[in-house]
Structure 1
Amino acid sequence: MTQIQLTDTQAVVLSAACARDDGAVFPVTAKLKGGAVGNVCKSLLKLGLIEEIPATDLNTVWRHDEARGPITLRATPLAQSTLGITEAETTTTPAETVTASVQRRKGTKQESLIEMLRVPGGATIEEIATALEWAAHTVRGAMAGPLKKKLGLEVTSEKVEGRGRVYRLPAA
């Protein structure tokens, strides 16, 4: 089962919500500025760790909906299980939630990178950088961040004589 990886800020916001009897996310206790609260909450919503419910206290409103009125956020059972507080009481496993939330657009450079890494011979940093018009450090960062950490893909590498270090993904 794939573990949901949380940032420190996500973990603080979720922990505070799970510590409350009603599981309310607001008021947020983390010291966040500007749109950071919104960004954290949106990411937690996508992961299924928090959910929207009707707001009874106008000081805890997340957004207003024309049909439902004021909306607030609360932690889900999946949030408690992710933090190790309780076992999940949902029918959705964390792996299914993460997979469902990761929807890639077609024709992106990330998709091209994945295709290059899935060909039988793999690809070198230089080949990828040339094809995608990226710097070498951008290629390495894309493999370490979005591919490995966010999508959970296992990028392997080996030295190939005459070619240098070749990176690969298992065929889909």
Structure 2
Amino acid sequence: MSNLTDTQSTILSRAAARSGNLALPLPDGLHGAAAKTVVGKMMSRGWLEEVDANLRRGEPLWRETGDGHGTTLIVTEAGLAAIGIEPVVAGAVARARKAKVEQGATSEVPSRPKSRAGTKQAQVIALLQRPEGATVAEIAAATSWQSHTVRGMISGALKKKLGLPITAEKVEGRGMVYRSES
């Protein structure tokens, strides 16, 4: 076992017990400059590693990267070995995490959330994919939604969540017409 402080030992031990060996949340009372100092020393010794946080699984953030993503901290094989956990177990956990990261990196197109068939969301997408597109009023009539719900669906679920390219064009006699080519 390495020369660990009580705080470092607590962080590593708690992380070893968590799913994915997440080092966050840090112990109570450890925040701000003190947390940065402790984590910085642990990272320099190779005990902690900063990885992309999976926000869908609710992984806690260590640092925001500024592009809408963030990082979290995980314990490395060296960190687990520092508290006496066998390298075989530590290696298996590290390989599983790296396999997930590499699997995501090798896919050419990032995976988008899928829309289920037969839902109102699928119905809205079908309306938008017609050559003539659809207005908010037409979508509201087809789905029995209020206009603000339709606009929220277009901007939130379709554009942001699903990443569909939606265009809007003002058409004489119809008003604002929305289209999607995906």
Q: TM-score, normalised by structure 1?
A: 0.50
Structure holding more helix per residue: 2
Q: TM-score, normalised by structure 2?
A: 0.47
Structure of larger gyration radius: 2
